[in-house]
Structure 1
Amino acid sequence: MREGPDIARIASLVGDPARANMLNALMGGTALTASELALEAGVSLPTASSHLGKLMEGGLLTVASQGRHRYYGLAGPQVAGMIEAITGVAEAVGPKRVRPGPRDAAMRVARVCYDHLAGEQAVAMLDRLVAKNVLV
C-alpha cells in the first residue's frame, strides 16, 4: 500500500447512499439534527445515528449541542468543496439518481420549499404562465 492520504477511507464514507444524502442535506450551510438527517437519508433514527458516528469519526462533520438537541454540520469548506467536486464528476459521468419526491401525497401536489413553490400544482402554474407568455 502506498503512503499518503487515505482517500479510499473518505470515499467509502461518502460513497454510502444514506451518508451521501446526509452530506448533501448539509450543503445548504444549516446544521441539522439527527432526526432531520434521518428523514433526508430515508433511514431510521438509529441507522442515521450510526452513519453520523462514522462521518464524525472520519472528520467530515462537526456537532454542536443546544439544549437537548445536537446539530450536525459539515466540518469545513474543504468538506463542502469535496462534495461539490464529487457532485460535478457524478453529473458529468453518470446517470442521475431518481428521487421520487415526498412520501406524503399532499406534499407532492403542492408545497413551499424555502423561497419558492414546488409540487405538481407549482409545475402546472408555471406551464400555464409560459403558455400565456407571462413568463418566457
Structure 2
Amino acid sequence: MKEGPDIARIGTLIGDPARANMLTALMGGQALTATELAQAAGVTLQTASSHLSKLEDGGLVSQRKQGRHRYFALTDAATGTLLEAIMGFAASRGHLRHRPGPKDPALRKARVCYDHLAGDYGVRMLDSLMRRGTIVSTGDDLRVTEEGRSNLLAIGIDLDRLSSSRRPLCKSCLDWSERRSHLAGTLGKALLSRFLDQGWGKRSVDSRAIHFTSRGESQFLALFPLE
C-alpha cells in the first residue's frame, strides 16, 4: 500500500525478537533502565541502546532521566493494548514460546497488562461486571451504566474523577492467555490500583504476575462472582 498508515514499520519494530522481549518486559507498566532491558532481551547494553532508539523513534517507548539514569516505558496505554492484542492473536494461532516453570500459572491467573488486571482474574472481573449490569457492551466498546456508577462508587471508585482523563473510561482488551477480553481504560487501572492499595495482592518483583493473598483472593472472588 503506497498511502495510509505504515503498518510495515510498526511490524518491523515489534517483530525483532530482542525488541519484542523489551516491549514484553515493559508490559508491566514499570519504567526500566537500558541495562535491565538488555538483560530481558539477552543482548549487550550497546545493542539494547540501538534497539531502544528505534523503538523511541517509532513512538512505542519513551524515556525520562532521573539523576544519572535513563528510564524507558511504553509510550501510552494504546501501545500496551496493541501488544496484548498481538499476543492474543499469536496465542490463538499456536505461536507460543514455552518457558515452563512456576511463573507460567501465576501469569495466567493474574498479571499486569500495562496498568490494568489481566489473566483469568482480569477476564473474570469484566465478566462479572457485565453480568451484574455494571458495564454493558456498546458494540465495539464498553459503557458504565447508571446503576454501575453507584456500584463502583460503593467500592471507592469515583467515575467523575476518572472521566476527566483523556483516556477512555472503559475499554476491552484481548487477553493473550484467556483469549477473551479483560477490562482496560482508566476504570481498569483504578480497580487494579484499588486492589493493590488495599493489600489484596502484590506485584511480583521479577515478572508481571500479581500474587493475591488468601484474604485478598476471597474478597476479590466475593466482589466479582460469576454465579
Q: Which TM-score band applies after superposition, normalised by the shorter structure?
A: 0.7 to 0.9
Query: Which residue is equivalent to 1:31?
Result: 31
Alignment of 1:53-68 (within 5 A): 53-68=53-68
Query: Which residue is equivalent to 1:93?
Result: 93
More strand by share: 2
- How far did 1:79 drift? 0.6
Q: Is the partner of 2:79 in helix, strand or coil?
A: helix
* C-alpha separation in 1, matches of 2:40 and 2:24: 9
* C-alpha separation in 1, matches of 2:34 and 2:98: 24
Cα deviation digits, residues 49-73 of structure 1 (max 9, x gap): 0100000011111100001100000
* C-alpha separation in 2, matches of 1:100 and 1:3: 44
- Cα distance change on mapping 1:51 and 1:99 into 2, 3 Å: farther
What is the number of residues matched between the two proteins? 105
Taking only aligned residues, the RMSD between alpha carbons, in angstroms, comes to 1.6
TM-score relative to the length of structure 2? 0.44
- How far did 1:100 drift? 7.4
TM-score relative to the length of structure 1? 0.72
Query: Which residue is equivalent to 1:119?
Result: none
- How far did 1:98 drift? 3.2
Query: Which residue is equivalent to 1:44?
Result: 44
The amino acid of 2:16's aligned partner reads D
Query: Which residue is equivalent to 2:2?
Result: 2
Unpaired segments of 5 or more residues in structure 2? 102-203, 212-227
* C-alpha separation in 2, matches of 1:93 and 1:55: 26
The amino acid of 1:7's aligned partner reads I
Is 1:71–2:71 an aligned residue pair? yes
Percent identical among aligned pairs is: 61
* C-alpha separation in 1, matches of 2:57 and 2:100: 31
Is 1:15–2:33 an aligned residue pair? no
Q: Is the partner of 2:2 in helix, strand or coil?
A: coil
* C-alpha separation in 1, matches of 2:100 and 2:50: 25
* C-alpha separation in 1, matches of 2:41 and 2:11: 18
* C-alpha separation in 2, matches of 1:68 and 1:100: 37
Unpaired segments of 5 or more residues in structure 1? 102-112, 117-136
Q: Is the partner of 1:56 in helix, strand or coil?
A: helix
Find runs of 4+ consecutive structure 1 residues off by over 2 angstroms.
98-101, 113-116
